[in-house]
Amino acid sequence: MSGGRLAIIGGTGLTRLKDLEISRREVMHTPYGEPSGPLTIGQYHGHEVLFLPRHGAHHTIPPHQVNYRANLWALKNAGVETVLAVAAVGGITQHMTPGRIAIPDQIIDYTWSRHHTFFEGDGDDGVTHVDMTYPYNEGLRQTLIAASRELGLGAMERGTYAATQGPRLETAAEIDRLERDGCDLVGMTGMPETALARELELCYACCAVVANRAAGRSEGLITMEDIARHLDSAMGRVKQLLPLVIKRCRELPAP
């Protein structure tokens, strides 16, 4: 993880890195169209970091219209090897309470009609299958876990992320189904981003922030005001976590 550049993909609640000392922005053009925005490059607590807001600088791109292929290709083309993906999610199971950080170890894809692969069968390599048994890089996951423990953040150290289509939130019955399937968290951006990172051989892990209890898991309806309030609090902890994770990544020996 220490050999190449490191990038942070920011989700809802993290459209910019406050302490990033920006040196330049790079506009990238890719074979798959335009990324969510320019790559912002600078020094973050003494380490070079590339930052890309998944939903655009002003949070205007809905999850089903994010150009995931362009985003990941742009990062790879810029020399990135390690990607920390931050995502806002809903909590399904009992311990996934609003404001909690979770570091998932599994994911189930419930999305449809998204461009979900770089391997379209139109190259010289024929049909390509990529192993996804363990979708997140375990070394990077353990780095996130160790940093969370050191800071006393009480992060959930595993869990299954359900990636749904969006942009609407789920029904209570859909959440019941996801829980029966073994899901702990629900979000709208985990796929195809996770799979595309694997196809590009990027070292990728997710730092999920529980913004609300999923549908039917609390009294009343889900409101955007409640989500914003929980995210504002939780993102403060994420901003504590990221500098330590980046420092630890840079201290690891190159593979």
**Tens digits of residue pLDDT in 107-132:** 999 999 999 999 987 766 678 899 99
Quote the pLDDT of residue 255. 42
CATH number at residue 63: 3.40.50.1580
State the average pLDDT for the chain: 93
Alpha carbons 98 and 89: distance in angstroms, whole number: 9
Residue 71 lies in a domain: yes
169-184: average pLDDT: 97
CA neighbor of 147 nearest in space, from 182, 103, 107, 177:
103
Quote the pLDDT of residue 103. 98
pLDDT bucket at 3, cuts 50 / 70 / 90: low
pTM listed for this prediction: 0.93
Residue 153 lies in a domain: yes
pLDDT bucket at 5, cuts 50 / 70 / 90: very high
Quote the pLDDT of residue 252. 64
User: Rounded to 5 degrees, what angle do the CA atoms 69, 247, 67 make?
Assistant: 10
Is it the case that residue 234 has pLDDT exceeding 90?
no
Residue 91 lies in a domain: yes
Quote the pLDDT of residue 85. 97
Share of the chain above pLDDT 90, in %: 81
Residue 254 lies in a domain: no
In the block, which residue shows the tokens 């876990």? 145
Query: Could you give the 3-state DSSP secondary structure of residue 199?
Result: helix
Quote the pLDDT of residue 17. 84
Residue 243 lies in a domain: yes
Task: Provide the residue range defining the domain that includes 90.
Answer: 5-117+128-249
pLDDT tens for 211-229 read: 999 999 988 888 888 888 8
pLDDT tens for 235-245 read: 889 999 999 99
Residue 255 lies in a domain: no
Residue 228 lies in a domain: yes
Look at the chain and count its residues.
255
* Burial annotation 54-75 (CB, 10 A radius, 16+ → b, else e): bbeeeeebebbebbbbbbbbbb
Helical ranges in the chain per DSSP H: 68-77, 138-151, 172-180, 190-199, 224-251
Residue 132 lies in a domain: yes
How many domains is the chain partitioned into structurally? Answer: 1
